Amino acid sequence: MNRKVSEIFGDWHEQGVLTQHQGPDTTITGIAAVEAFGCHDLIFVDKPSFKQMVAQNTPACIVTTSKLAEEFSDQEGLAILIAPNVGLAQALMRQTYVDRDLRHTEWPAVHPSAVIHETVQLGEGTVVGPCVVMGAGVVTGCECVIMAGSVIEHGVQMGDRTVIHPNVVVGYDCELGNEVIIHSGSIIGSEGYGFAQDEKKQSHRIPQLGNVVIEDRVRVGACNCIDRATYAETRIGAGTKFDNFCHIAHNVIVGQDCLLTAGLIVAGSTTLGDRIIASGATGIIDHLNICDDTVFVHRAGVIHDITEPGVYAGTPTQPWAEYRRNAAAGKRVNEMLRKLRELEKKVAALEKGE
């Protein structure tokens, strides 16, 4: 990276990501953390507590809010870029200027060790790493990256600029949209858990012959399993982001722009609405409907439909305010039991006296 502050401002002003440039037009050679930066770096400042760090070792430029900018206005030689949303500015600017270039590899664009069926159609600019296996009829979009050791089974359709990290399996006939990212160890289209039992309680496999459809801009973290449907499809909505170690069972529908963190388990045929947020170790049983804009916290165990947006916690799930009251009361259970026993003794004594 080697850009003037005015150039960076010009890149992002029209989109509204940056709204103002104050101070000198210095040259930026890198983007760094606020805890460790050099004199030619750009940093992102979204907390007043960072002021002392910036004052002790002045960077070339900060990206901050209009309110915090006043705190740094007297610092000599400091360029200031004002952003309404510093977090969003950080995401977009780091993606553009300093992100890892997955298309630049030390090997040929299509590694000679890759096993690619003659009917595969690779989009323009697609990179295929060592020991990749691609089955019959696979079609990729343009500028995709399929990294070492991944298996793309027959019939998979993949949109533009999709990235498959090392050692991923995408099962047959699954569909991936544009700009999907799937991290290492994840399996898309594993067989759903479907069995029927006879009178001896022996289990018989029900073939799971549907597929998985992952819409645009979905991010699947490491070691996720998203099962194919029994008949139709398991679907993940556009913009949804999975953390590591999540499991999505057969026939589940996940809405758009959800944020789903580590340890999430969603059982079969449940539907999640749009913009769902699930904190770590959330569990949701089968055949439920979860409405839009629901937030699950404190290892929520969801055993019934959620029909009203809001924050829910605990097992079974309760609205946040109710959960907090119950949790606070739970800390006093021993005290309340002791008082109850004392009252019982007093009542017994009074009854004897009567």
Annotate 93-145 with DSSP letters as a single string.
Answer: HHHHHTS--TT--SS-SB-TT-EE-TT-BPPTT-EE-TT-EE-TT-B--TT-E
What is the per-residue pLDDT for 331?
80
What is the per-residue pLDDT for 332?
80
Please compute the mean of the pLDDT values over residues 295-303 and round it to a whole number: 97
Query: Tell me: the pLDDT tens digits for 165-204?
Result: 999 999 999 999 999 999 999 999 999 999 999 999 999 9
**Coil/strand/helix, residue 46:** coil
Domain residue ranges of the chain, discontinuous segments joined by +:
3-97
> Distance of CA 175 to CAs 137, 158, 188, 212, 257, Å?
12, 6, 10, 6, 18
What is the per-residue pLDDT for 51?
86
What is the per-residue pLDDT for 194?
96
More confident residue, 40 or 329: 40
CB atoms near residue 329 (< 10 Å): 10
**Helix 86-97 and helix 5-13: axis angle, to 10°?**
110
Whether 354 has a pLDDT exceeding 70, the answer reads no
Query: Tell me: the pLDDT tens digits for 105-140?
Result: 899 999 999 999 999 999 999 999 999 999 999 999
CATH of domain 3-97: 3.40.1390.10
Q: What is the pTM of this model?
A: 0.91
Query: Tell me: the pLDDT tens digits for 158-176?
Result: 999 999 999 999 999 999 9
Average pLDDT value over all residues in the chain: 95
Whether 260 has a pLDDT exceeding 90, the answer reads yes
Lowest-pLDDT range of 19-28, 43-52, 289-298, 323-332: 323-332
* CA dihedral of 45, 51, 54, 57, whole degrees rounded to 10: -160
What is the per-residue pLDDT for 56?
85
Query: Tell me: the pLDDT tens digits for 16-64?
Result: 999 999 999 999 999 999 999 999 999 999 998 898 889 888 999 999 9
Apex 182 CA angle, 277 and 125, nearest 5: 135
Q: How many Å from the N-terminal Cα to the C-terminal Cα in the chain?
A: 90
- The residues facing 214 across adjacent strands are 176, 236
> Active-site residue 247, yes or no?
no
Best CA proximity match to 193, nearest among 126, 250, 270, 118: 250
| From 21, 165, 183, 250, the catalytic residue | 250
**Are 212 and 254 within 8 A, CB to CB?**
no
